[in-house]
Amino acid sequence: MAQNPYSLIFGKEPAQLISRAGQTAEITNAFRSEPPTHQIFMITGVRGSGKTVLMTEVTKQLKKDHDWIVIELNPDRDMLVSLASKLSSENAFAALFQKSNINLSFFGLGLEVNNTAPITDIETALSKMLKALQRHGKKILVTVDEAVSTPAMREFASAFQILIRQDLPLFLLMTGLYDNINKLQNEKTLTFLYRAPKIEIRPLNIGTIAANYKRNFHLNDPEALDMAKKTRGYSFAFQVLGYFTWEHGVLNEEVLADYKLYLEEYVYEKIWSELSENDRKLAYGIASAPSGQISEIRDFLNIETNQFNPYRKRLIKKGLLNGDTHGYVFFTLPLFNQFVLENYGLYE
């Protein structure tokens, strides 16, 4: 049997990639325009929705133009020093900084510079380095996967704010779960983040998924569409359903059982563990009202609209609920309804 083309690994560019051309272009166009319309974007969405893959897509697009330098930073380390260090580890840039008399010896970085005192403030150092790169038409994109509000992240964001005010060609692209991004945005000192654009990851296109399944499993159109709909466009589900169907050769009961188990073990249990008691109660109400009608859910839970709304909004922001149809809500994730019914009140 040929090798399974579907991938169960998170954070890695899959062989079977469904295009997110729209959301990719939204970011690359803003970064590329002169002057840029935005220098920062934050990608949010539930686990497995495809945040890391989208970020990789964006960096791949930008890197086609050699003026773009992409640097990935870890929010658990000193990000400013890491950025300076990664920039000066490229030979061409180290030579450029040397020629521009930027003495980085205080940080143990760069090439030797004579007759110029070492810079001792990292923000000053970065400002000078970026200015030198700017003169050569370079643009620097910093990526942070799974941003959390760590001291290093807050320090970096605050320096970023100052550097872009100096019109330096610095860009920032972050991914994160809604709660983590929200916490970072609400830091009082980082007001600019509050206004920074967020990309809420959307489901993959069902027609494109169907075309993919049709091709790989030799299905007819209705069969392929039926199979695609089972994923609800959830990225991880697209891979998992494809993977087990490939393993079994055909979409049968066993595949569906493996599919459900895999989604639950790798994502839903974690999502569930992170929900508050009230979120879970609301989720239970939603799962128990198959029509999805909000009035029915409220009746079931015996709560008022003003109690219901804040939770509804939060679950939508987290990417768990779809509230596009007025008066209705639905879970975005496939089989999540059933998972909630099976797990609510399990440990009471």
Residues 6+ apart with CB under 8 A from 73: 79, 82, 83, 86, 142, 143, 144, 156
Q: Does 334 help bind ligand ADP (rule: CB under 6 A)?
A: no
Q: Does 52 help bind Mg ion (rule: CB under 5 A)?
A: yes
Q: Does 44 help bind Mg ion (rule: CB under 5 A)?
A: no
23, 52, 161, 231: which one binds ligand ADP (CB under 6 A): 52
Enclosing H/E stretch for 194: helix 191-195
For residue 343, the partner it binds in Mg ion, ligand ADP, none, with Cβ less than 5 to 8 A by kind, is none
Q: Does 17 help bind ligand ADP (rule: CB under 6 A)?
A: yes
Cα 303 from Cα 319, distance rounded (Å):
23
27, 42, 51, 160: which one binds ligand ADP (CB under 6 A): 51
Query: By CB under 6 A, what part of segment 204-243 binds ligand ADP?
Result: 204, 235-236, 238-239
CA-based torsion, 190, 195, 197, 203: positive or negative: positive
Cα 23 from Cα 28, distance rounded (Å):
9
For residue 17, the partner it binds in Mg ion, ligand ADP, none, with Cβ less than 5 to 8 A by kind, is ligand ADP
Enclosing H/E stretch for 321: strand 321-322
| Segment lying near ligand ADP (by CB under 6 A), choices 43-51, 58-66, 75-83, 256-264 | 43-51
Residue whose CB is less far from ligand ADP, 20 or 318: 20
The residue count for binding ligand ADP (CB under 6 A) is 22
Beta carbons within 10 angstroms of residue 347's beta carbon: 4
Cα 62 from Cα 68, distance rounded (Å):
6
Q: Under the rule (CB under 6 A), what is the footprint of ligand ADP? A: 7, 9-11, 14, 16-18, 20, 45, 47-53, 204, 235-236, 238-239
